[in-house]
Amino acid sequence: MSVRRIDDHTLGVLEFGQVLEILASFASSDLGKAAARSLYPSTDPQWIPQRLAQTSQLKDLLQQGIRIPLAGIRDIGPMFTRLRHKQTVLEPSELLLIKQVLEVASRLKQFLLELENERFSQLRSMADGLMELDGLIGQINHCIGPDAKVRTTASVKLAAIRDKINQLRTQIQQRYEQLTADPQVRNALENNKIVFRHGRPVLAVKSNYKACIRGTVLDRSNTGATLYIEPESLVQINNELEEAIFEEKKEINRILWELTHQAIGSRRQILQTLKTLGQVDLTYAKARFSIAYNCCCPQIMPEPMVRLVDARHPLLVRIAADRNKVDVENAGQYVVPVSPRIGGDLDLLLVTGPNAGGKTVLLKTVGICILLAQSGCHIPAAEGSQIGVYHQVFADIGDQQSIQDNLSTFSAHVKQVIRILANTRPGTLILLDELGAGTDPQEGAALAAAILDELLARSGHVIATTHMGQLKAYAFSRPRAENASLLFDTEHLQPTFKLLMGTPGSSNALAIAQRLGMPRKVTAKAKQTIGSQADHQARLINEVQKVRQLAEDRRAEAEKAVLQAIATRQQLEQQIEQLRQQEQLLQRQADLAIDQSLQQVKVLVDQFCKEIQNAPKPWPQQATGLADQIDAILRQSPLQVRHAQFIKDLRRGDSVYMIPFKTIATVDKVLYNRGTIVLLAGGKQIELGLDQVCRPEVARYL
């Protein structure tokens, strides 16, 4: 990924971290969740399409109902961090965890490599980062059992030690039974079981019977009523058992050290595998996010630009899902989509409209879609959306008043804009909310116009929102600028949140105030103050918006009709292709049936020839002639002709399907004189008859 970093302040105000939390919730492991939370937008035009393609291909698999083998992924990285800082041995449970993760990686690698190469090439490439460590897996399997204990078969020495321990324990049990066979001793015992104190087997003796047992008191109960005595007759054998157990621990520790050193020796490959597992799980999370939030893969354009079709902010979709108690898949209907654009022939989009009409949400939606796309994620928008890679994104959104720094809202915005101006260059997108607000309207509008002039002079792309009427004329006087408005329903006196490109909007402040309960005499007096001309201008803007909206609705209907026609054509083309494939399948099946019938006839004739070999002439010669004729007919069958040409065209390194083994192998050499072919599969050479191989794509017809 590119080392250039998108502005951290921008990531904060666009709430990128909150969106990443949503993304992380779709990962299957803590490793994938951590990868999602640390995801960062790239500025590398090579990296972004690759990651988007991986997301698209994995989404395709999920939508087909194919299960991705990700179960069992664990973050074993901290183990190796610990091993690096101090000399320590891995516990059996930790070694089992390493084995489990490596087995997951092995299964996942096999799954990825079995995917169709052309269709899933980017997913298949991820298998390169999953290292094959079968040796380490085998060693851990050999030494550690599923109960997280070292197996007796881990070494010859351990097997001998444990055999000795078992023998000693058997002897102790026998000695115990001999002791307790004495009625006097049995009466002295608190219970009839061997108990252990300080790792040594002892007898639980009633304190008043101490004299009945000759031995050493190793412990006593809290009340003193029971003494734990090691009988003299068991001391020697107990010493031997203790020594054997000590030897067992030494051997187990040696085995664990050996396995630990093997793991440390494979540390680089394991950490690489772990990183790739996290990336695959992250891609899995991206694909699930795309499905849940009805996302599309944006087309990546060669130049910086944005063209969104029916985009929705994912945080708004999630809020709508919670509010309406529906799944996020069905919550999009409760969020009004927007379709803004910037770039190409447009360097400035100036958005006006009512308070609480969605202007800030528009900026955040554009920003979050760019950040997601440049992070390799699909965007919550419709097909046809386009994004060109931006090297930098700046956003000045929200109230940034600071008590600590003694900054007013206006001062905080100015400070941020100064920083943006200093760093704007070609390939920069700037999102400005309420430009020029927070001070005298006339001065604010003049300052805002000067700021926009400077940003455009520096070749930046700007989307700015404003309430200032003076700025509405700004876009009309700039060749690569355009007005846009968020519509207001004048009949119901409420915002619609719909974006209309090409037309400035009215703030409708008086209408909103009236809807919120402001006394009519107050709003009437305000209308008199602003004058009839301003009121007429507002009404004119609203009328223009209605006309434009009607035109947009009809254009949308026309586009919908075109899309339906395209979809119908694609559906028909798919049906034609399916019929063509079905025709090929039937033809191949018919050819196969004919070939098999001829083969059966040939077998019968060959058998008949053998049976009449000693018959009087001319019967043997006639039978042989008939067999030759059938051979000639068989060689001319469609299936045999195609097979003969296939064998003739084979070259070393080509792939063929081995019919007996039902798998694909690589050609090493073709022995025409022997009628056989030598193949490489799984590191081994296999020689088969030429009739026992076929094209890989033909295998599905067999």
Mean pLDDT within 181-210: 80
**Cα 140 → chain centroid:** 29
Least confident residue range of 26-30, 90-94, 486-490: 486-490
CA distance linking residue 135 with residue 139, whole number of Å: 6
pLDDT band at 203 (very low <50, low <70, confident <90, very high): confident
Residue 635 has pLDDT above 70, yes or no: no
Q: Is-cis flag, bond preceding 618, omega within 30?
A: yes
pLDDT band at 402 (very low <50, low <70, confident <90, very high): very low
Domains 154-263 and 305-518 in one fold = no
Which residues are CB-contacts of 410 (< 8 A; sequence separation ≥ 6)? 437, 438, 439
Helix or strand (DSSP H, E) at 352: strand 348-352
Name which CATH class applies to 650-701: mainly beta
Token duo for residue 486: 């968020």
Ranges 480-484, 495-499, 608-612, most confident: 480-484
pLDDT of 526: 65
CATH of range 154-263; options 3.10.20.740, 1.10.1420.10, 1.10.3430.10, 3.40.640.10: 1.10.1420.10
Q: What are the φ and ψ backbone dihedral angles of 287, each rounded to 5 degrees? A: -65, -45
pLDDT of 96: 95
Residue 623 has pLDDT above 80, yes or no: no
CATH T-level assignment (fold) for domain 8-133+266-292: MutS, DNA mismatch repair protein; Chain A, domain 3 (1.10.1420)
pLDDT of 52: 96
Residue 471 has pLDDT above 80, yes or no: no
Answering whether pTM is above 0.75, one says no
Ranges 449-453, 489-493, 619-623, most confident: 449-453
Strands 428-432 and 461-465: parallel
CA distance linking residue 376 with residue 618, whole number of Å: 80
Strands 348-352 and 461-465: parallel
Least confident residue range of 177-186, 265-274, 525-534, 621-630: 525-534
Residue 619 has pLDDT above 70, yes or no: no
pLDDT of 493: 45
CA distance linking residue 649 with residue 326, whole number of Å: 59
* Domain layout of the chain by residue ranges: 8-133+266-292, 154-263, 305-518, 569-632, 650-701
Higher pLDDT, 248 or 567: 248
CA distance linking residue 163 with residue 147, whole number of Å: 20
pLDDT of 403: 36
Q: Return mean pLDDT, the chain.
A: 82
pLDDT band at 37 (very low <50, low <70, confident <90, very high): very high
pLDDT of 586: 65
pLDDT of 465: 87
Query: SS3 for 271?
Result: helix
Over residues 542-600, the pLDDT tens digits come to 555 455 556 666 766 787 788 788 878 888 888 887 777 776 666 666 666 665 666 66
CATH of domain 305-518: 3.40.50.300
